[in-house]
Structure 1
Amino acid sequence: MPIDDVQRSRQTQQVTLVAMATNLTLTVFQLIVGLFSNAFSLVADAMHTLSDLLTDGLVLLAARKGADPADANHPYGHDRIETVVSMFLGLVLVVVGCGFLWSAGVRIQGADALPPLHPVALWMALATLAAKEALFRYTLAASRRLDSRMLEANAWHARTDAASSLVVAIGIGGGLLGYRFVEPLAAALVGFMILRMGVMLAAAAIRELVDTAVSEEVVNKIRDTIAATPGARGVHDLRTRRMAHRILCDAHVLVDPRISVSEGHAIAEAVRLRVCRQHANVQDVLVHIDAEDDLDVPVIPVGPMPDRQTLAGWLPGLLGDDTPAPKRMLVHHLGGRVELELFFPLDWLSADGRVAQLNARLKAHLPTHPEIRAVRLHGLVAH
């Protein structure tokens, strides 16, 4: 069942508050235990956890601002705030990963200089590892339930914290056993993993910011939904883009070229409602009604296309000065030319010889206006 914006924002904030409380608690205990046990790697991990509080704060801010309704300056809403925060979190992971790689190189060179450690540091590192892994699974499940890339980025940030705690635990364990080289090697491996995840998350956010289309599978499903709408004869130039968890679409829909404007609008509205109802992530569909498929075979007009006023001015010359102005005139622009439908009172048009006379005049004068392909005459019954 789709989740509305208010509920989605509230649940995102709840998940983020749980993460902030967890990180604050871990930071305090890591600092105390790390200083007591001479485990400087645990102190450094505490500083890493403290930085998570800052990113959690950004996620909380984005969750609140992203749920704000559209306004004059943000007519499409504020959902892209989530995307920007996701990109920032990805860049943070890149920096953290590079930091681990750099730190690993330094530790390899000075592995013998590590200070003696107290066993309580190992238990603290393992407890931190368990807490971070639990936080990762909790946040990742919420991100999939809420379809939030921002929460997904924060979840993987928690996983990198768990990885860093694993490095600390391995390093402390190796130090307690006398194998000083274990920690820097593990740190290098985890640093590469963090760097890769950060690049992937930042790249996904950037693709969204530059309006990359959704997957071909989703596009084809939307195309099938449009094509199944009554009145739609075809669809082309279907374009999609993401805005956080939402999808925005533009589509050109082919309809009968001689239906009324109001019927064409009704078909467009039917397409929009049908797509939004059958695809929960689609926020809106901008439908452009086409009278003909002008993409497959480009149409070159015979000349400048006349507007309605110009065409009305040509009618006396085509039909004769004694012909009254039509009660109604429909203009169809098709195939680079114009087709006219003229409506006259039925009693006037059905007079003896009237149709034949008008037909003769049209045959004589239409060649002087190559822009006009055909003229159709209709009798209008008075109400």
Structure 2
Amino acid sequence: MASAPHLHAPIEDAERLRQGQRITWVSVAVNIALTAMQVVVGLAAHSQSLIADAMHTLSDVVADVFVLIANRKGAEAADAQHPYGHHRYETLASLMLGLLLSATGIGILLAAAGRLENLATLPPVGIAAFWAAIATLVGKEGLFRYMLTVAERLRSPMLMANAWHARADALSSLVVAVGIAGSVLGVGFADGVAAIIVGAMIVKAGVRFAWEAINELIDTGLSAEEVQRIHETLRTAPGVLGLHDLRTRRMAHHVLVDAHIQVSPRVSVSEGHLIGELARRRLLKAHPEVLDVLVHVDAEDDVDSSQRAMGLPERDALVRHLRHLLGDAPPPFEDITLHYLGRKVEAEVVLPAELMADPEHLARIGRCLAQRLPGDTWFSAVRLSCRVAPE
């Protein structure tokens, strides 16, 4: 088996931490400023939808705190208790962000519904709320574009979720602006309806983020297209005859891969290991998102061969039986290599060099093997050789 984390991960994580922290602090500053403006103007202008949008923006500040903590913890190096690193902190932050959004959206929906039931007692909405919503829309859209650019470059689902959270805020601010405009023009229920639409949008975004995080936490595999690309990279590696049991899962922006490769049944253990290691390195080089690859090397497709091999005896019993096949007085063995292939075993036996000087003994061994091997229960082939040079 071959497995090791990507050699360049520490450098990448340090850069990810620096850029992730910077972009999140920018988001914190923008969201705090917008929240303060929305609350003040919303209360002064009697706009339910603007106050609802302010609560949405305030949830962004809390979400940014989650992101800051998760980004720092996720960049910590692997240790004995966390051999794959701490990247799941990002996934956990995405889940908490999704739950926070959902709860915020539900609260806004309930408040807006209650407000619509009492339209007659509500004061008119001031025009200042409209301009505050427009200012929020511009600020959120600019923040979204900046955050999305960085998130895509870092391939961070957590930062991506936070960026789209900002886009959801921008869209909700647009809805708020339209609703406020309707109220100012005399459509009394428009502000409340806008608040309901904003709440629904927030709930939808929260459910999506939470669902994606849950899928990652339960080790959902990659898409069929992504798996096919990984399959092709491993399958075409030198020395690989077949590939099966390919499994993938995500861990934040990384991908973990397990695979069984099939090599020639007659290569040595060391050569089989080398083929697996070269295939592993090939995959890491071709797919930068892959953090770790576990390669299991098989001499044949073990999807159905393992049960057949279980019916064969262990090595000691096979060696005793092999001595019987070579005669009643078998020669000493210098080395024996056993190949478990299908339902039987092939043996490669190295005999002492002295036997080369005794052709009559070699002939007796050959005749005995020719008589006893056909139809043998365990062995399908036995190849004999003599060592002619010292190791």
Q: Identify which range, 75-84 or 131-140, moves more after superposition.
A: 131-140
Whole-Å separation in 2 of the counterparts to 1:150 and 1:81: 9
- Alignment partner for residue 169 of structure 1, among 151, 174, 177? 177
> Could you say which residue in structure 1 is the equivalent of 2:225?
217
> Could you say which residue in structure 2 is the equivalent of 1:269?
277
One-letter code of the match for 2:235?
A
Instruction: Using the TM superposition, give the Cα deviation of residue 174 of structure 1 relative to its aligned residue in structure 2, in angstroms.
Output: 2.7
One-letter code of the match for 1:382?
A
Asked whether 1:149 is paired with 2:160, we answer no
Whole-Å separation in 1 of the counterparts to 2:375 and 2:310: 13
- Alignment partner for residue 64 of structure 2, among 56, 69, 83? 56
- Alignment partner for residue 381 of structure 2, among 374, 378, 383? 374
> Could you say which residue in structure 2 is the equivalent of 1:340?
347
> Could you say which residue in structure 1 is the equivalent of 2:75?
67
One-letter code of the match for 1:58?
F
- Alignment partner for residue 94 of structure 1, among 99, 102, 127? 102
Whether the 8 Å CA contact 2:262–2:298 is kept in 1: the answer is yes
String of CA shifts for 1:304-342, please: whole Å, max 9, x gaps. 422223333334433245433211110111102221110
Change (3 A) 1:322 1:165: same
Instruction: Using the TM superposition, give the Cα deviation of residue 39 of structure 1 relative to its aligned residue in structure 2, in angstroms.
Output: 4.1
Asked whether 1:136 is paired with 2:141, we answer no
Change (3 A) 1:69 1:194: same
Whole-Å separation in 2 of the counterparts to 1:191 and 1:46: 12
String of CA shifts for 1:164-211, please: whole Å, max 9, x gaps. 333433333233222111122233333333322222222211111111
String of CA shifts for 1:52-92, please: whole Å, max 9, x gaps. 21110000111100111111111111111111111221222
One-letter code of the match for 2:201?
M
Whether the 8 Å CA contact 1:299–1:336 is kept in 2: the answer is no
Change (3 A) 1:302 1:220: closer
Whether the 8 Å CA contact 2:305–2:342 is kept in 1: the answer is no
Asked whether 1:195 is paired with 2:200, we answer no
- Alignment partner for residue 308 of structure 1, among 309, 315, 335? 315
Instruction: Using the TM superposition, give the Cα deviation of residue 379 of structure 1 relative to its aligned residue in structure 2, in angstroms.
Output: 1.8
String of CA shifts for 1:130-159, please: whole Å, max 9, x gaps. 111211222222222211111121122222
TM-score (structure 2 length as normaliser): 0.89
Aligned-residue CA RMSD (Å):
2.4
Asked whether 1:77 is paired with 2:95, we answer no
Whole-Å separation in 2 of the counterparts to 1:43 and 1:94: 17
One-letter code of the match for 2:86?
H
> Could you say which residue in structure 1 is the equivalent of 2:291?
283
* Percent of pairs with identical residues: 49
One-letter code of the match for 1:249?
V
Q: Identify which range, 304-313 or 196-205, moves more after superposition.
A: 304-313
Whether the 8 Å CA contact 2:47–2:191 is kept in 1: the answer is no
Whether the 8 Å CA contact 1:149–1:245 is kept in 2: the answer is yes
Whole-Å separation in 1 of the counterparts to 2:260 and 2:357: 41
Whether the 8 Å CA contact 2:53–2:198 is kept in 1: the answer is no
Whole-Å separation in 1 of the counterparts to 2:227 and 2:310: 37
> Could you say which residue in structure 2 is the equivalent of 1:179?
187
Asked whether 1:355 is paired with 2:366, we answer no
Equivalent residue of 1:258, what SS?
Answer: coil
Q: Identify which range, 86-95 or 43-52, moves more after superposition.
A: 43-52
Change (3 A) 1:300 1:182: closer
Whole-Å separation in 2 of the counterparts to 1:118 and 1:302: 81
Whether the 8 Å CA contact 1:302–1:371 is kept in 2: the answer is no
Whether the 8 Å CA contact 1:23–1:53 is kept in 2: the answer is yes
**Unmatched 5+ residue regions in structure 2?**
1-7
Whole-Å separation in 2 of the counterparts to 1:183 and 1:37: 12
Change (3 A) 1:148 1:61: same
Whole-Å separation in 1 of the counterparts to 2:364 and 2:384: 12
Whether the 8 Å CA contact 2:46–2:126 is kept in 1: the answer is yes
Whole-Å separation in 2 of the counterparts to 1:278 and 1:288: 19
Whole-Å separation in 2 of the counterparts to 1:302 and 1:122: 76
Whole-Å separation in 2 of the counterparts to 1:318 and 1:331: 15
> Could you say which residue in structure 1 is the equivalent of 2:5?
none
Equivalent residue of 2:384, what SS?
Answer: strand
Whole-Å separation in 2 of the counterparts to 1:316 and 1:178: 102
Equivalent residue of 1:248, what SS?
Answer: strand
Equivalent residue of 2:291, what SS?
Answer: strand
Change (3 A) 1:36 1:304: closer
Equivalent residue of 1:77, what SS?
Answer: coil
Change (3 A) 1:174 1:112: farther
Whole-Å separation in 1 of the counterparts to 2:362 and 2:80: 56
TM-score (structure 1 length as normaliser): 0.91
> Could you say which residue in structure 2 is the equivalent of 1:318?
325
> Could you say which residue in structure 2 is the equivalent of 1:7?
15
Instruction: Using the TM superposition, give the Cα deviation of residue 230 of structure 1 relative to its aligned residue in structure 2, in angstroms.
Output: 0.9
Equivalent residue of 1:86, what SS?
Answer: helix
Whether the 8 Å CA contact 1:94–1:196 is kept in 2: the answer is yes
**Unmatched 5+ residue regions in structure 1?**
none
String of CA shifts for 1:252-305, please: whole Å, max 9, x gaps. 11111011111001000000000000011111111111111233x557548742
One-letter code of the match for 2:205?
M
